[in-house]
């Protein structure tokens, strides 16, 4: 079992995401078997939030997904590993995985969900 965390932010649009104060929701954590299960869990949380909050401030919802690493000698500098993020906007629900090290493009390999 691994521990995962979702960091949720919301805004009227992506352009306003960093402009707004108090647009972060309390982080969610869960103990899950693997990364695939964590990605599915994060998708359900974003989808649920988007359904409940149909107001201007929630037109763009972003959920960063992190694995929280155990404390120990191997993790002196890193206490988490970013898997990627779910984005919910006018185009739908989109998974944006963390780019591979050395990949010049941001969010390479995005896949849209109908």
Q: pLDDT digits over 34-91, tens only?
A: 999 999 999 999 988 888 877 777 889 999 999 998 876 565 567 889 999 999 998 8
The answer on pLDDT for 114 being more than 70 is no
The answer on pLDDT for 108 being more than 90 is no
Residue 56: predicted pLDDT: 76
Residue 110: predicted pLDDT: 41
Domain extents in the chain: 2-99
CB atoms within 10 A of CB 78: 9
Residue 73: predicted pLDDT: 59
Cα distances (angstroms) measured from residue 53 to each of 19, 57, 66, 71: 20, 8, 23, 36
The strands making up 28-32's β-sheet, listed across from edge to edge, are 28-32, 2-11, 60-68, 80-89, 92-97, 111-113
What is this structure's pTM?
0.78
């Amino acid at each position: 079992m691994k521990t995962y965390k979702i960091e949720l932010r919301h805004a009227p649009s992506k352009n306003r995401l960093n402009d707004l104060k108090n647009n972060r929701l309390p982080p969610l954590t869960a103990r899950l078997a693997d990364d695939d299960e964590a990605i599915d869990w994060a998708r359900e949380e974003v989808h649920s939030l988007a359904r409940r909050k149909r107001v201007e401030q929630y037109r763009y919802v972003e959920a960063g997904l992190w694995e929280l690493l155990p404390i120990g000698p191997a993790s002196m500098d890193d206490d988490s590993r970013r898997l990627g993020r779910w984005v919910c906007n006018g185009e739908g629900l989109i998974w944006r995985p963390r780019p591979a090290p050395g990949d010049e493009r941001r969010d390479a390999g995005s896949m849209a969900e109908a």
